[in-house]
Amino acid sequence: MDEQHAETLRAVEHELTALLRRGRAVSWEVAREVHPNLEPNAYGLLLWLRRCDSVRLTDLSTRLGIGKGTLSRQIRGLEILGLVRRIPDPTDGRAAQLSLTEEGQARFDAARAARMGHIRGTLESWPAEDVAEFARLLGRFNDAWS
């Protein structure tokens, strides 16, 4: 690997570190907007539940790469807050489908709108093609990372 490529990779690592640090701070803010007692990492769970409409715990565990026991505890916390519900799976009586409650959906949507407003404000001066390319490259990076 030549020195220029190594320096470029160090720059990528630096920018990723900055992005992740900011992301953690934003996650705290957004989580508090959804519910004052919500753990910051739970926003990602709510995002997946909002995207899927309803999903089995095992499928969500696989998709997120989180152990079923850990995920079950996190989901239980969201149930206690009234944000998530379990309903019997119509195809398998032993399993349950997870989904957002109406309250969870409303709170998530309001917090997401605020987050999207921040993203929109950050990227509003960028040309639309740059935003599209940024989204494409982030997706490619995330796909390769897993």
- pTM of the predicted model as reported, rounded to 2 decimal places: 0.75
Residue ranges covered by each domain of the chain = 3-145
Chain centroid offset of residue 48 CA: 7
Environment class of residue 11 by beta-carbon count within 10 Å: exposed (0-12), middle (13-18) or buried (19+)?
Answer: exposed
Of the candidates 33, 22, 24, 20, the residue with the CA atom closest to the CA atom of residue 113:
33
CA dihedral 91, 44, 13, 17 (to 10 degrees): -160
Q: Which CATH architecture has domain 3-145?
A: Orthogonal Bundle (1.10)
State residue 85's pLDDT score. 96
* DSSP annotation string for 69-132: HHHHHHHHHHHHTTSEEEEEETTEEEEEEEEE-HHHHHHHHHHHHHHHHHHHHHHTTS-HHHHH
Burial bucket for residue 98 (CB in 10 Å: 0-12, 13-18, 19+): buried
Which of 45, 41, 9 shows the shortest CA–CA distance to 27?
Answer: 41
Q: What is the pLDDT along the chain (146 residues), one digit of tens a residue?
A: 789 999 999 999 999 999 988 888 877 888 888 888 888 878 888 988 999 888 998 888 888 888 989 999 999 999 999 999 998 888 887 888 999 999 999 999 998 898 899 899 999 999 999 999 999 999 999 888 86
Cβ count near 16 (within 10 Å)? 12
